[in-house]
A and B are shown apart, each in its own frame.
Chain A
Amino acid sequence: MNTVIFKESVVRSLRDFSFFILTVIITGINLFLYLTYHFQSFGIDRFLLWLTFMFDILVVMAYSGYLSSKLFIREIERKSMEILFLTQSGKIGTYMQKTLAGYFLIFTISFIAFFQPIVTMFNFGTVPLLFIYWSSIYFLISLISGIFVFSLSNAVGFALKKSIYSMLGVSFYIIISFFTLALIPLQWNNDFDIMAWITVFPFMASRFAFLATEAYGTVPPNILILAVLGIVWIVIIENTLWEVKV
Chain B
Amino acid sequence: MNAVRVDKINVWYGKFQALKDVSFEIPTGKVAGLLGPNGAGKTTLIKSMLSLLPYKGEIKFFGRPLNKREVGYISENEGLYEWMSVEEYLEYFSRLYGVPTKMVEEVIDIVGLKENRDKKIGSLSKGTKRRVSIARSIIHNPRIIIMDEPLSGLDPLIKKELTELIKKVSGEKTFIISSHQLRDIEGICDWLILIKNGEIVDYGDPESIIKRYRPLREIVFTVEPRDVEKVKNIMDVEGVESLEVKNNTIIVKFSGNSDDIIFEALLKNGIKFNLKTDSLDSIYREVFK
A interface residues (Cβ-Cβ under 8 A, vs B): 2, 4-5, 8, 12, 78-90
- Known: A4-B96, A87-B93, A88-B68. Contact between A78 and B79, CB under 8 A? yes
State A90–B52 Cα separation when bound (angstroms).
Answer: 10
Residues of B within 8 A of A90 (CB): 68
Instruction: Name the residue on B nearest A75 (C-beta).
Output: B79
Binds A, one of B19-27, B69-77, B207-215: B69-77
A-B contact pairs, 14 of them (CB 8 A): A4-B95, A8-B92, A79-B77, A80-B81, A82-B52, A82-B73, A82-B79, A83-B73, A83-B75, A84-B96, A85-B52, A86-B73, A88-B69, A88-B96
B interface residues (Cβ-Cβ under 8 A, vs A): 47, 50, 52, 68-69, 71, 73, 75-81, 83, 92-93, 95-98, 136
Give which listed residue, B50, B80, B95, contacts A86 with CB less than 8 A.
B50
B75 & A79 in contact (Cβ 8 Å cutoff):
yes
Residues of B within 8 A of A8 (CB): 92
State A31–B95 Cα separation when bound (angstroms).
Answer: 43
B93 & A82 in contact (Cβ 8 Å cutoff):
no
- Known: A4-B92, A8-B92, A82-B52. Contact between A88 and B79, CB under 8 A? no
Residues of A within 8 A of B76 (CB): 79
- Known: A2-B96, A87-B97, A88-B68. Contact between A79 and B50, CB under 8 A? no
Q: How many A-B residue pairs have CB under 8 A?
A: 48
- How far apart are B49's CB and chain A's nearest CB, in angstroms? 11
State A55–B101 Cα separation when bound (angstroms).
Answer: 46
Residues of B within 8 A of A89 (CB): 96
Give which listed residue, A5, A12, A82, contacts B96 with CB less than 8 A.
A5
Residues of A within 8 A of B97 (CB): 87-88
Instruction: Name the residue on A nearest B52 (C-beta).
Output: A82
Residues of B within 8 A of A4 (CB): 92, 95-96
Residues of A within 8 A of B81 (CB): 80
- Known: A80-B81, A82-B52. Contact between A88 and B98, CB under 8 A? yes
Residues of B within 8 A of A2 (CB): 95-96, 98
Residues of A within 8 A of B78 (CB): 79
Given contacts A83-B75, A88-B97, 13 further A-B contacts (CB under 8 A): A2-B98, A4-B95, A4-B96, A78-B79, A79-B77, A80-B80, A81-B79, A82-B50, A84-B96, A86-B50, A87-B68, A87-B93, A90-B68
A80 & B96 in contact (Cβ 8 Å cutoff):
no
State A5–B80 Cα separation when bound (angstroms).
Answer: 14
- Which 6 A-B pairs rank lowest in CB-CB distance, beginning with the nearest? A80-B79, A79-B79, A87-B96, A79-B77, A4-B95, A4-B96
B68 & A86 in contact (Cβ 8 Å cutoff):
yes
Instruction: Name the residue on A nearest B98 (C-beta).
Output: A88
B73 & A78 in contact (Cβ 8 Å cutoff):
no
